[in-house]
Amino acid sequence: MRSGKSPRHTSAGEPTGGISADSNKTGRLVSLDLLRGLAVIGMIIVNEMAGMEGPVYPLLLHSHWNGLTFADVVFPAFLFMVGVSIPLSMRRRDEVDYSRILWRTLRLLLLGFILSNIFWFSQFSSGSWRLFGVLQRIGLVYGACAFMFLNLSGRTRLIVAAAILILYWPLALVPTLDGVPTDMWVRGQNFIGSVDRVLLGAGNHIYVPGTHGYDPEGLLGTLPAVAQGLIGVTVGEYLLRNPERRRMRALVIAGAAMLVAGIAWGFVFPVIKDIWSSSFVLVTTGIALLVLAGLSYLFDGRPMRGLGRVAEVIVLPFGMNAIAAYTLHEVAWALLGWDLLQAPYRQLKPVIGPQLASFVPVLLFLAFIWLCMFYLWRKRWLIRI
């Protein structure tokens, strides 16, 4: 989401503990970095597709309000993976430095604020600065989940997550603070959005302006995002304790159960990314968990040959340096407007149609990001925030 451009709600995240590219040799789980890498790739495609002038496939655009598209699944997958990575990177709890967690959270908040306001910093008259954003939410979720992992039992953390998701539903139905009629099925007409409007001012420091404005990474929406991270923490602990065959079966069952529960809940508490509704958390976590189970079955504990080698070379570089890839694509997005990238689109549009042709410049831009991440991966360099 970039100030000064059309609204685009996506995401990125970062491993809280790196998993080596040769994880099959070290016994660590390559599936985690593969899922993270796939999410980064999806984020870049979705973000840059939203900036194309011509029509794009609807699944690559975020839902206007309730509903779910491919674009809506990317960010929650990252937050889920942030939670999964916490137990893997903090196995020796007594040796964890709390100040490092705090400072890492603050660094993510600062970097996120810079990226959210990069146009505003260059020209104050371009609009108003924005407080929240993708990396800010990731930082808050990481900090909250890391501190709870170190200080609460697994059962208590699950109770906290369940309580957040359950209580978030009636909270969303509380009458709005600014008198806007409450209707969960209408964009912005809910208590969650009204808190953003009152605290940050409609049209000033929030992403969606207007009398029904709100911020899709706003204050109260961070609560269910923390619950999603806590579910990830539980999955991370489970991965450390259980052998591969039993592990995958349990992941599939848990993922399917959350997906079904989220869909059912969505009939009364709609699946809405922009307020991170509880049903949205369950649906997207279920999807991420099923994908993780599939990747674990295909790649964990197996030699990286054939399809595995392709996945390792193309996907893992993104997963190993997720924040770096996200930051680079946010900073370098203007490359997409170069004639060098747009010329193939103009040439192919009459032949294959604008929707399919729009992939070409985006894939070229993605290839540029990949080259940078591949270089870091080959050097075994991890850029940590």
Q: Could you write out the DSSP letters of every residue in 156-199?
A: HHHHHHHHHHHHHHHHHTSPPTT-PPP-TTSTT-SHHHHHHHHH
What would the two tokens of residue 29 be?
Answer: 């789980």
| CA 35 – CA 199 distance, rounded (Å) | 36
Q: How does pLDDT run across 322-381, given as a tens digit for each residue?
A: 999 999 999 998 888 888 888 998 999 999 998 999 999 999 999 999 999 999 999 999
| CA 153 – CA 159 distance, rounded (Å) | 10
Query: Quick one: average pLDDT of 44-73?
Result: 89
Q: How does pLDDT run across 176-192, given as a tens digit for each residue?
A: 999 999 999 999 999 99
Q: How does pLDDT run across 204-255, given as a tens digit for each residue?
A: 788 888 888 899 999 999 999 999 999 999 999 999 888 666 678 899 999 9
Q: How does pLDDT run across 120-172, given as a tens digit for each residue?
A: 888 887 778 899 999 999 999 999 999 999 999 999 999 999 999 999 999 99
Place of tokens 């870091």: 376
What stretches of 51-69 show up as alpha helix (H) in DSSP? none
CA distance readout (Å), 282 to 16, 172, 192, 299: 22, 17, 19, 25
What would the two tokens of residue 229 be?
Answer: 């991270």
The gap from C-alpha 103 to its chain's centroid, in whole angstroms, comes to 21
Q: Are 60 and 70 in contact (CB under 8 A)?
A: yes
Q: Are 126 and 120 in contact (CB under 8 A)?
A: yes
